Chain A
Amino acid sequence: MLGKTAGGLFWMSRQLERSENTARMIETGQRIALTRGADSDGEWASILRTAAVSSGHAAKYDTVTRENAIDWMLRDKANPSSVLCSVETARNNARMVRTALTHECWEAVNAAYLRIKELLARRVSERDLPQVLATIRQRSAFVRGAMHGTLLRNDIYDFIRIGTFMERADNTARILDVKYYVLLPMASSVGSRLDNVQWETILRSVSAEGGYRMTHGHKIRPREIAQFLLLDKRMPRSLNFCCSKIRDNLGYLASDYGERLDSQSCIDTLCRRFMSHDIDAIFDYGLHEYIQDFLSALADLSRQIEIDYRFYE
């Protein structure tokens, strides 16, 4: 496989994952706006930070409003992480790696792009927003389904999966980092309405309310939330889950190619360093510091994969 193709597959799946995550974050913001009324613009600022798009937004707009935040995240061409740009980049990558994809996969990506481009051709009204967001998530699920159902489990699939879980881990970590203060034991005025909303926001933005309930029951507590999103082995958006998938897929690559590279040692170290502690130890170390360290280790891993598998010249 061409190095460029490996890179194209990796970025295609990262961008698809990103578009889905962004849609989910907008959904969460919208939900808060509905439950908290007029006073929600502050919440949108934190959502922009979570999506790592706030500095671009600030360059374009003086203030954060619901409308401009949603438009920025959904369809602004100046925001490379907007849903529209992500899907377009994903599709361009898919075009580039067309020969590595099955017809069904390509069609699913292309159809997602065509549909989403059509939906986001103009500003989305509040009334249409839920439907638009649902379609974005649905299209992403179609693509995942086509990949799951039609791709050979070889290096093509491995790079796709690695991209997906890198992006997802990054996303979950950023959500926690923006909100970490509400999870800190000393900061929480337990049971206040404000905190309940914040915690709910966190769980919602990773579609984890149901899963949390099944695991930890109805009581929403910061320690359990952190435990669930960082370390749970079955929660498909937890850091632990994502890292173990990355490790698996890098492992398949190593055995496929008959060669262990620095990437494999890098993910092993990362897993050992971040996933072998209990949640209290993490709080002792400092949740914010832990997440910062994790994000930087993840970025290092991403660079190592690029080098080892020759994505670029």
Chain B
Amino acid sequence: MTEYFDEMWGLSQQTRAPYKKFSEWFEGEEPARLRAKQREAEELFRLTGITFNVYGRDEAEERLIPFDIIPRVISAREWKKLSKGIDQRVRAINAFLHDIYHRQEIIRAGRIPREMIEKNEAYLPHMIGVRPPGGIYTHIVGIDLVRTDEDTFYVLEDNARTPSGVSYMLENRETMLQMFPELFSKTRVQPVSGYPRALQQSLAACAPESCNGPPTVAVLTPGIYNSAYYEHSFLADKMGVELVEGSDLRIVDGHVAMRTTRGYQPIDVLYRRIDDDFIDPLNFNPDSMLGVPGIMDVYRAGRITIANAPGGGISDDKAIYSYMPEIVEFYTGEKAILENVPTWRCNEPDSLQYVLDNLKDLVVKEVHGSGGYGMLIGPTSSKKELAEFEAKLRARPNNYIAQPTLSLSTVPIFTKAGLAPRHVDLRPYVLVSPDGVNITPGGLTRVALKKGSLVVNSSQGGGTKDTWVLED
């Protein structure tokens, strides 16, 4: 018996059904050849420039996110259930955003407290009464899932602003196809390569009503020094659309337009990879050099689609997260299919007391934090760390939520000593358009490369794996 559920071996060292074919193949492989393949994969990533920037003391350093060649395999049956739950959740998030920026029925109905929104900086007054083109707020969503046993998946968090990592999902598969073509002829894996096309179509489907003819789509990036720049250029390239920066854009004839070699050309749909606060120095942070002055005005005049819609952050806030079961039920009339991790809101005195009493067993997160920063993992923290965090909690309880330490499932990685189980999570990518919800089978599996570690974030030593959803 192992302590954690392993997706390849279960709890009893017996290969689970979805991994059978892979396991057979793996048994027949020379470790030396696989090691060479692992190095080859890294070289491929480096040459392609699939790097992310880490800001150090002097200059940005480009790093590779480590890639592990052992795939993470999900059966068709498992996926069906997951995707149903994701679909439901994403629809609820969109309905919630519409409501919260219009009549706030959910508050009137007393299902979530007004205070959750009232003082929340992610709630953007500029969006009140605005109907985004196509009625869609979150065109691109990433839902972070973890698994704890054969049947239980939890949603760890929703990413409704600018979820990143989809380029890794695509490149990981591309790399596996190049290195192990024989594996894919043995096993039927649902393809992911349709994502860029689906993204393009789903963005185009949300063009403003005033747009006649094929919509012009563009991707807005903060520029080549941004940590996710590779992804921005990758997506623009695969979609066949321009990759623009704020300095390329102006308001011309009432539209946002890009400076081309032949003059300004209007943009209908902008997939922006810049945070709300920086997107428009005229309306928001006046010091932003990244955004487009006046773009919010054009948006509010209904002449451009911004994806995702500004103000969507109110839906993926960690404090709002704890209300997701209520939110799903309120807008869909159904019980939430995907489970939420039980969450203590430290702004509630009873919860705070419980959290303080049980700090060493809990995971505590900042409400607005991301990237695995500013969090406490009780079981792996020292006495000193616990004491320091307790002080922070007491000083600003509103700033924190706490959750039990989950027994995250593991999937083996390929090490010098052979296969070794490591904790993983999963981020499926979801596209929303008036035509419906499109979920790419699989998503990005992030893996904590350090033995026993539960932190999968790439900024903190996490790696990635190819994620397979098997055909029926």
Contact = CB atoms under 8 A, between A and B. Distances in A.
Nearest to A7: B261
Interface stretch (B237-245, B319-327, B427-435): B237-245
A107 B48 contact: yes
A4 B258 CA distance: 10
B229 interface: yes
A106 B245 contact: no
Interface stretch (A94-102, A129-137, A164-172, A284-292): A94-102
Interface string A1-17: 11111100000000000
Given A95-B49, A99-B243, A110-B49, A310 B233 contact: no
A107 B46 CA distance: 9
Contacts of A92: 224
B295 interface: no
Nearest to A106: B49
Contact of B47 (A5, A107, A313): A107
A95 B233 contact: yes
B237 A313 contact: no
Contacts, number: 57
Given A92-B224, A313-B247, A98 B260 contact: no
Contacts of A6: 261
Contacts of B244: 2
B290 to A, nearest CB: 14
B237 A310 contact: no
A309 interface: yes
Interface string B200-233: 0000000000000000000000011000010001
B105 interface: no
B263 interface: yes
Contacts of B46: 114
A214 B224 CA distance: 46
Interface residues of A, number: 23
B108 interface: no
Contact of B260 (A96, A99, A107, A310): A310
Contact of B233 (A3, A98, A111, A259): A98
Contacts of A96: 223-224
Q: Is the interface of A mostly helix, strand, loop or mixed?
A: helix
Interface in B247-298: 247-248, 258-263
A1 B261 contact: yes
Interface in B310-330: none
Nearest to A4: B248
A114 to B, nearest CB: 7
B248 A3 contact: yes
A107 to B, nearest CB: 5
A2 B245 CA distance: 10
B48 A4 contact: no
B237 A98 contact: yes
Interface of B: 46-49, 223-224, 229, 233, 236-237, 242-245, 247-248, 258-263
* In the A-B complex, the 7 residue pairs with the closest CB atoms: A98-B233, A99-B237, A309-B261, A3-B259, A95-B224, A99-B236, A6-B261
Given A99-B242, A111-B47, 11 more contacts: A1-B261, A2-B242, A2-B261, A4-B259, A95-B229, A98-B233, A106-B48, A107-B48, A155-B261, A310-B260, A313-B259
18 contacts: A2-B244, A2-B261, A3-B260, A4-B247, A6-B261, A95-B224, A95-B233, A96-B223, A99-B233, A99-B237, A107-B47, A110-B47, A257-B262, A259-B262, A310-B260, A310-B261, A313-B247, A313-B259
